[in-house]
Amino acid sequence: EDKVVQSPLSLVVHEGDTVTLNCSYEVTNFRSLLWYKQEKKAPTFLFMLTSSGIEKKSGRLSSILDKKELSSILNITATQTGDSAIYLCAVGAAGGTSYGKLTFGQGTILTVHP
């Protein structure tokens, strides 16, 4: 069975700190790894990674995939209170039994204090 594990489960930091969130996976026929941010209701898409070693960046957020280690990290630099949210890692697989299915980790709850 496909499995995604995130760490840490929760993190409390102060504004300006840099944080690194981890995601590891065991998935048959890996296709993609996605990061989402969930504040109140809908998870909002951050990144999709398919190739190992290529960093994706968006402002203060960046992410990289290591297919050899079956893992990914999400970095947030110069954190702000608006970064407080649950960060979800999800993995998609190839093949008919995987159509439309993302397997999610438990999420990391990030709290940024002023």
Partner 1 sequence: KAGVTQTPRYLIKTRGQQVTLSCSPISGHRSVSWYQQTPGQGLQFLFEYFSETQRNKGNFPGRFSGRQFSNSRSEMNVSTLELGDSALYLCASSSSSGRSSTDTQYFGPGTRLTVL
Among 48, 61, 70, 73, binds partner 1 (CB under 8 A): 48
Contact status: 110 vs partner 1 (CB under 8 A) = no
Among 58, 68, 97, 114, binds partner 1 (CB under 8 A): 97
Rounded Cα gap, residues 16 and 77, in angstroms: 7
> Near partner 1 by CB under 8 A, which window of 16-24, 57-65, 76-84, 101-109?
101-109
Taking the complex as a whole, how short is the minimal distance between the CB of residue 56 and partner 1, in angstroms?
12
User: Which residue type occupies 86?
Assistant: I
Among 88, 108, 110, 112, binds partner 1 (CB under 8 A): 88
Taking the complex as a whole, how short is the minimal distance between the CB of residue 41 and partner 1, in angstroms?
4
Contact status: 31 vs partner 1 (CB under 8 A) = yes
What Cα–Cα distance (Å) separates residue 60 from each residue in 1, 5, 26, 46, 106? 34, 24, 28, 12, 23
- The residues that touch partner 1, with contacts defined as CB under 8 A, are 31-32, 34, 36, 41-45, 48, 88, 90, 92-107
